[in-house]
Amino acid sequence: MRHAAVLLVLVLLGAAPAAQDAGRRPIPPDQVQAAVARADEAIAELQKTLVGRLKEELGRGGPAAAVTVCRDEAQQLTRSIGERHGLEIGRTSHRVRNPVNEPRGWARHWIASWAGARAADAKPATYELDNGRLGVLRPIGTMELCVMCHGQPEAVEAVIGDVLRESYPDDRATGFAPGDLRGWFWAEVPVN
């Protein structure tokens, strides 16, 4: 107990991490704010774009058509929005459908710690990464619209089962109810 307390004090005084952080300069708060604002702009655009395409396709061809938007367009739309905003961006979760969306290393701990939470409780986060970049995480809630593809497995299966089984044999992104934390938007933004 004593040792733990002494160690904690050293860490709080900055004694322990000093060597590993030597040479790093703090990022001025206004630059952090500007970078986070750029991340949020890109995230808002990504959300609007994906939900917009989803609704469009649902109206045109129902869930069977809409699932191909998520499967065939989501990755490309995400990449091009990132490029336009000069940052990297994506969607992730503690339970992903597409393994490509597994959380990046810096985000893993935060995302695991919120697994199973209600979306309204989940807190956003900002991380200082290497090479003067910031990592930003924003929670994504499950809406009514989402459960046809992310809700109870039997219900999802009945609507779009074949496509999911064939395209995502390791799908872990079912079993969500409205209000559940479905996942996270993430962004890696250069600070300048």
Catalog residues that contact ligand HEC under the rule CB under 6 A. 51, 54, 63, 66-67, 70-71, 74-75, 91-93, 96-98, 101, 140, 142-143, 145-146, 148-150, 173, 182-183
Provide, rounded to whole angstroms, the least separation between the CB of residue 89 and ligand HEC. Answer: 12
Nearest residue (CB) to ligand HEC, 34 versus 145:
145
Nearest residue (CB) to ligand HEC, 11 versus 51:
51
Q: Please answer whether residues 142 and 118 qualify as being in contact, where contact means their C-beta atoms are separated by less than 8 angstroms.
A: no
Contacts of residue 169, defined as CB under 8 A and 6 or more positions apart, other chains included, come to none
Provide, rounded to whole angstroms, the least separation between the CB of residue 190 and ligand HEC. Answer: 24
Q: Please answer whether residues 131 and 185 qualify as being in contact, where contact means their C-beta atoms are separated by less than 8 angstroms.
A: no
Provide, rounded to whole angstroms, the least separation between the CB of residue 146 and ligand HEC. Answer: 3
Nearest residue (CB) to ligand HEC, 25 versus 60:
60
Single-letter residue type at 57: E
CA–CA distance from 113 to each of 20, 107, 123 (Å)? Answer: 26, 10, 11
Q: How far apart are CA 59 and CA 56, in angstroms?
A: 5
Q: How far apart are CA 140 and CA 151, in angstroms?
A: 15
The Cβ of residue 3 has, within 10 Å, a number of other Cβ atoms equal to 7
Nearest residue (CB) to ligand HEC, 46 versus 134:
46
Nearest residue (CB) to ligand HEC, 71 versus 126:
71
Q: Please answer whether residues 82 and 89 qualify as being in contact, where contact means their C-beta atoms are separated by less than 8 angstroms.
A: yes
Provide, rounded to whole angstroms, the least separation between the CB of residue 148 and ligand HEC. Answer: 5
Provide, rounded to whole angstroms, the least separation between the CB of residue 102 and ligand HEC. Answer: 8
